[in-house]
C-alpha cells in the first residue's frame, strides 16, 4: 500500500484502521484484525481515550503486544471529550495521555489528536501540555480533529509543534468539504460553508486530512454499502465500478477518497478482517477524473 507524508513530517499508509468499534472483540478476533491490517500494508492505527469507555485501547494494545508489532506501526489516539463536555485543559490532556498509555500498554503514542473543539480552550495550556508530553517522550506528533481553519490557526499560533493532521468526516455521501467548493456563492444547501474551507486550508498548510467514517451516511446513522432502501442506484453504480475494476464496492468508496490530490488518509472502521482486506484493495484502484465525478454524482450530489 502506498505511503503518504503525514503533515509533511512522517510517512504512513494511505489507509489506516480505527479502533472505535473494536471494544467488544475477543482477543483472537482483535489479533486477526490487526494482523490482516498489517498484511495489507496498514501501519497507522487510530484510537481515542473514550472508545468503548477505554476498552478499545485495551483490546488494541493487547493485540499489538500479542502480535509483537509495536515497532512496525504508528499508534494514534485522541483526548478532549469528556462526559457532557469538552476539555482541553492541561490537566486533562496530561491525565488522558497517561490513561491511554496505561490502557495501551505502551511507553509512547506516535500521534495525539484533540478530539473535538473546546471553546473554553486556553491555547497556552494546550501548548504547555504538548511540550510536557513531547519532552517526556510520551507523544511524538500532534494534530486535531473536527476543527475549522481558524481554530487550527489559533492553536498553531501558540504551540511549538506543527499540527500534522485534522481528522474530519468524509465519505461519498458526506462530502460537504468538497461540495462547498463546487457551489461557491450559490443560494443552495451544498454551497453552505460548514468548515471554513478546511480542505483548501489543509492543502495550503501541508496538513493531512484523515477521513473518518468513509463508508457512512449521516452522522453515525449507518453505511451506504448494500443499503438498498436509501442508496439503491448508488449501490448499482458502485457495483458497476467494482465489476470493472475487479474489487468490492467498499474498495471503490475508498479509492474515491484516496484519488483526491489532497492526499487524504482514509480511516477504515470495520471489525471484520475479510472486509478490511477487500476495502484495502481500493488503494490500488485508479479512478480517472471522469470516473471520480461519476461516482460523486451517483452518490446523490449535483454539480451546478
Ligand atoms: N474524529 C472523530 O470524531 C471520529 C468519529 C467517528 C469515527 N472516527 C474514527 O474513524 C474510524 C472509522 O469510522 P467508522 O467505523 O464509522 O468507519 P467506516 O469504515 O465508515 O464504517 C465501519 C462500519 O461499517 C460497517 N460495514 C458494513 N458493511 C461493511 C463493509 N462491506 N465493509 C466494511 N465495513 C462495513 C462495519 O461493520 P463490520 O465491523 O461488521 O464490518 C462497521 O460497523 C473509527 O474507528 C475511528 O477511529 C473518528
**Which of 243, 201, 228, 276 is CA-nearest to residue 33?**
276
**β-pair type (10-13, 3-6):** antiparallel
Place of cell 448494500: 226
- Check if the beta carbon of residue 131 is closer than 8 Å to that of residue 97: no
Q: From atom 30 of ligand 1, which residue's Cα is the shortest distance away? A: 275
Among 29, 56, 212, residue to substitute to test ligand 1 (most atoms within 8 Å of Cβ): 212
Mutate to test the pocket of ligand 1, among 17, 18, 209 (most ligand atoms within 8 A of CB): 18
Per-residue model confidence (pLDDT) at position 121: 98
Low-confidence ranges of the chain (pLDDT < 70): none
Check if 51 is active-site.
yes
Rounded-to-integer distance, Cα 185 and Cα 193, Å: 10
Instruction: List the grid coordinates of 216.
Output: 457512512
Q: Which ranges constitute the DSSP H helices of the chain?
A: 27-40, 55-67, 90-104, 123-135, 149-156, 176-182, 198-205, 228-245, 249-258, 273-280, 289-298
Contacts of 277 (CB under 8 A, 6+ apart): 36, 39, 40
Q: Are 196 and 188 in contact (CB under 8 A)?
A: no
| Residue 10 in grid coordinates | 512522517
Report which DSSP code applies to 184. T
CA angle 150, 80, 193 (to 5 degrees): 30
pLDDT digits (tens, 9 = 90+) for 26-43: 999 999 999 999 999 999
Q: Which of left, alpha, beta for 41 (phi over 0: left; psi -120 to 50: alpha)?
A: left
State residue 94's pLDDT score: 98
Please work out whether the CB of residue 143 comes within 6 Å of at least one atom of ligand 1: no
Q: Whose CA is nearest to atom 5 of ligand 1?
A: 212
Q: CA gyration radius for the chain? A: 19
Q: Is 46 in the pocket of ligand 1 (CB under 6 A)?
A: yes
CA distance 189 to 211: 22
Bridge partners, residue 25, by sequence: none
18 lines ligand 1 (CB under 6 A): yes
Give the per-residue pLDDT at 289.
98
Q: Is the shortest distance between the CB of 203 and ligand 1 below 6 Å? A: no
Q: Return d(Cα 278, Cα 225) in angstroms, integer.
A: 13
Distances (CA, A) of 234 to 173, 189, 252, 268, 284: 10, 21, 12, 20, 22
Ligand 1 centroid to Cα of residue 209, in Å, is: 17
Distance 100 CA to ligand 1 centre (A): 21
- Domains in the chain: ranges and CATH: 3-298 (3.20.20.100)
pLDDT value at position 247? 98
Amino acid at each position: 500500500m502506498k505511503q503518504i507524508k503525514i503533515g509533511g513530517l512522517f510517512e504512513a499508509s494511505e489507509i489506516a484502521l480505527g479502533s472505535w468499534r473494536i471494544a467488544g472483540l475477543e482477543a483472537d478476533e482483535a489479533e486477526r484484525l490487526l494482523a490482516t491490517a498489517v498484511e495489507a500494508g496498514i501501519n497507522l492505527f487510530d484510537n481515542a481515550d473514550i472508545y468503548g469507555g477505554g476498552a478499545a485501547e485495551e483490546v488494541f494494545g493487547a493485540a499489538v503486544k500479542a502480535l509483537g508489532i509495536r515497532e512496525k506501526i504508528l499508534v494514534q489516539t485522541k483526548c478532549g471529550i469528556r462526559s457532557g463536555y469538552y476539555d482541553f485543559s492541561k490537566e486533562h490532556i496530561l491525565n488522558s495521555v497517561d490513561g491511554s498509555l496505561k490502557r495501551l500498554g505502551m511507553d509512547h503514542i506516535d500521534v495525539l489528536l484533540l478530539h473535538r473543539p473546546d471553546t473554553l480552550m486556553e491555547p497556552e495550556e494546550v501548548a504547555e501540555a504538548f511540550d510536557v508530553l513531547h519532552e517526556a517522550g510520551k507523544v511524538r506528533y500532534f494534530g486535531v480533529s473536527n476543527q475549522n481553519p481558524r481554530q487550527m490557526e489559533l492553536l498553531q499560533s501558540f504551540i511549538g509543534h506543527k499540527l500534522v493532521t485534522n481528522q474530519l468526516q468524509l465519505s461519498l455521501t458526506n462530502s460537504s468539504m468538497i461540495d462547498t467548493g463546487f457551489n461557491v456563492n450559490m443560494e443552495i444547501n451544498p454551497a453552505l460553508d460548514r468548515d471554513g474551507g478546511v480542505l483548501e486550508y489543509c492543502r495550503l498548510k501541508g496538513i493531512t486530512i484523515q477521513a473518518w467514517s468513509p463508508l457512512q451516511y449521516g452522522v453515525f446513522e449507518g453505511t451506504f454499502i448494500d443499503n438498498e432502501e436509501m442508496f439503491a442506484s448508488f449501490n448499482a453504480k458502485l457495483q458497476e465500478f467494482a465489476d470493472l475494476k475487479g474489487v468490492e464496492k467498499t474498495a471503490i468508496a475508498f479509492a474515491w477518497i484516496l484519488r483526491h490530490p489532497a492526499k487524504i488518509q482514509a480511516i477504515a472502521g470495520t471489525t471484520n478482517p475479510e472486509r478490511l482486506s477487500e476495502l484495502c484493495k481500493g488503494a490500488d484502484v485508479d479512478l480517472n477524473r471522469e470516473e471520480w465525478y461519476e461516482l460523486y454524482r451517483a452518490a446523490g450530489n449535483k454539480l451546478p
